[in-house]
Amino acid sequence: MGRHFLQIPGPTNVPDRVLRAIAQPTIDHRGPAFARLATELLERLKDVFQTRHHVIVYPSSGTGAWEAALVNTLSPGDRVLAFETGHFSTLWCDMATRLGLVVDLVPGDWRHGADPDAIADLLTAGHAAVMVVHNETSTGVRSRIPEIRAAIDRTGHPALLLVDTISSLGSMVYRHDEWGVDVTVGCSQKGLMLPPGIGFNAVSPKALAHRGRLPRSYWDWEPIIAANRQGFFPYTPPTNLLYGLRAALDLLAEEGLAAVFARHDRHAEATRRAVRAWGLEVLCADEREHSSSLTAVLMPDGHDADEVRRLILERYDMSLGTGLGRLAGRVFRIGHLGHFNDLMLAGTLSGVEMGLSGAGVPIKDGGVRAALAYLEEAG
């Protein structure tokens, strides 16, 4: 009884308004009402990505949008430079390899973002693109995209910059145009507060001009952009999720993107204060790189994060994120993004506090209290 607390770093708690919106009857995707809807959404999405250029909408998961970014811009055998910032950066590289690209993966400790200072040394003539995950969903570490772009620019290298913003879009500051990103990869079920089922590519003019030769059809930007001019799609679009997208964009606009980002920053800081008050360690090791949409918490040795998660799910009906890949069992992740507010955070941290205690993890008192104190002070 009572509401489930869905505090994984996505899918996030979907607002009632969005759920009701997606329950509207499906309409003719070739008719005038649909064209008006699509035209409005394609325009309004630009604001979320902070771009004046085109945003592509796919019926897909975020991984589909990863694939789209690669097959539209690259050719078989192309070399790409990538950074091992965590599980998802690794998966994206695996995908690139499977699609026939050659990946130079800069190793990492999963506690830091991509290193801008390493770019000059690593980027060579053979690289066609640089792939970076803006906000590593597996670690809660943010990479500093503007500094990476600046580092690439200092080398004078023409490499495309491909950025995954899956768990930061709509939650953390992101500026596709200003930051010089060529392809931004996003999806629906995180900061946009929608159910899963839509993938996005924001595309720079340079990326559009630079078409690769990897085989593509479903993901091909060109027929989509052509059809979008009339408000249509070359495939049957996910109409009901688009209804939800309209509602979600309304919600973001009503709060204001700047206020949305400030809210996420504040909740993230409150969460970190709770973690530290418990005497636990936040996974992210660089103060400049904390994620504002999720926090990964390191377990003391000898304690299994998944035991804590299981207890919290059973006893307090809250879902937390598991440790992925090499972090399995060693961290749990708290999602504090999307449709979220102070009292939901208070409930979330209370559940974590009781869960840690109930699972016998040695923590100090005062985590929730530290968070509440910060929320009050930074009201």
Site for its own copies in 171-200 (CB under 8 A): 187, 189, 195-197
Q: What 3-state class would DSSP assign to 310?
A: helix
CA geometry: angle at 49 spanning 46 and 53, to 5°?
45
Q: In angstroms, what is the minimal distance from the CB of 45 to its own copies?
A: 18
Using CB under 8 A, which of 156, 209, 217, 301 touches its own copies?
Answer: 217
Q: In angstroms, what is the minimal distance from the CB of 147 to its own copies?
A: 29
Compare residues 108 and 197 and give the one whose CB is closer to its own copies.
197
Compare residues 20 and 154 and give the one whose CB is closer to its own copies.
20
Stretch that binds its own copies, among 41-49, 95-103, 114-122, 269-277 (CB under 8 A): 95-103
Question: Is residue 263 close enough to count as binding its own copies by CB under 8 A?
Answer: yes
Tokens linked to 136: 């590593």
Compare residues 39 and 61 and give the one whose CB is closer to its own copies.
61
Compare residues 205 and 223 and give the one whose CB is closer to its own copies.
223
Tokens linked to 181: 């990103």
Stretch that binds its own copies, among 112-120, 143-151, 155-163, 340-348 (CB under 8 A): 340-348
Q: In angstroms, what is the minimal distance from the CB of 258 to its own copies?
A: 13
Sketch the per residue contact string, 135 through 174, with its own copies: x for CB under 8 A, - otherwise: ----------------------------------------
Q: How far is Cα 242 from Cα 331, in angstroms, rounded to an integer?
A: 35
Residues 294-323 that bind its own copies (CB under 8 A): 313, 315-319, 322
Question: Is residue 107 close enough to count as binding its own copies by CB under 8 A?
Answer: no
Q: How far is Cα 57 from Cα 36, in angstroms, rounded to an integer?
A: 15
Q: How far is Cα 180 from Cα 175, in angstroms, rounded to an integer?
A: 8
| Cβ atoms of residues 300 and 362 within 8 Å | yes
Using CB under 8 A, which of 79, 100, 118, 285 touches its own copies?
Answer: 100
Whole-number Cα distances in Å, 223 to 64, 71, 220, 285 = 17, 14, 7, 44
Residues 18-77 that bind its own copies (CB under 8 A): 19-20, 22-32, 59-64, 66-67, 76
Q: In angstroms, what is the minimal distance from the CB of 215 to its own copies?
A: 5
Question: Is residue 228 close enough to count as binding its own copies by CB under 8 A?
Answer: no
Compare residues 202 and 359 and give the one whose CB is closer to its own copies.
359
Q: How far is Cα 109 from Cα 289, in angstroms, rounded to an integer?
A: 14
Work out the burial of residue 304: count CB atoms within 10 Å of its CB; fewer than 13 is exposed, 13-18 middle, 19 or more buried. Answer: middle
| Cβ atoms of residues 84 and 96 within 8 Å | no
| Cβ atoms of residues 166 and 186 within 8 Å | yes
Q: In angstroms, what is the minimal distance from the CB of 106 to its own copies?
A: 21
Q: How far is Cα 159 from Cα 172, in angstroms, rounded to an integer?
A: 25
Stretch that binds its own copies, among 107-115, 125-133, 175-183, 365-373 (CB under 8 A): 365-373
Question: Is residue 353 close enough to count as binding its own copies by CB under 8 A?
Answer: yes
Stretch that binds its own copies, among 82-90, 169-177, 239-247, 283-291 (CB under 8 A): 239-247
DSSP state letters, 41-91: HHHHHHHHHT-SS-EEEEES-HHHHHHHHHHHH--TT-EEEEE--SHHHHH
Whole-number Cα distances in Å, 305 to 122, 252, 325, 356 = 36, 33, 13, 9
Question: Is residue 344 close enough to count as binding its own copies by CB under 8 A?
Answer: yes
Q: In angstroms, what is the minimal distance from the CB of 178 to its own copies?
A: 25
User: Could you tell me which residues come within 8 angstroms of residue 225 by beta carbon, excluding any fewer than 6 positions away?
Assistant: 54, 56, 208
Stretch that binds its own copies, among 45-53, 128-136, 154-162, 371-379 (CB under 8 A): 371-379
Compare residues 144 and 190 and give the one whose CB is closer to its own copies.
190
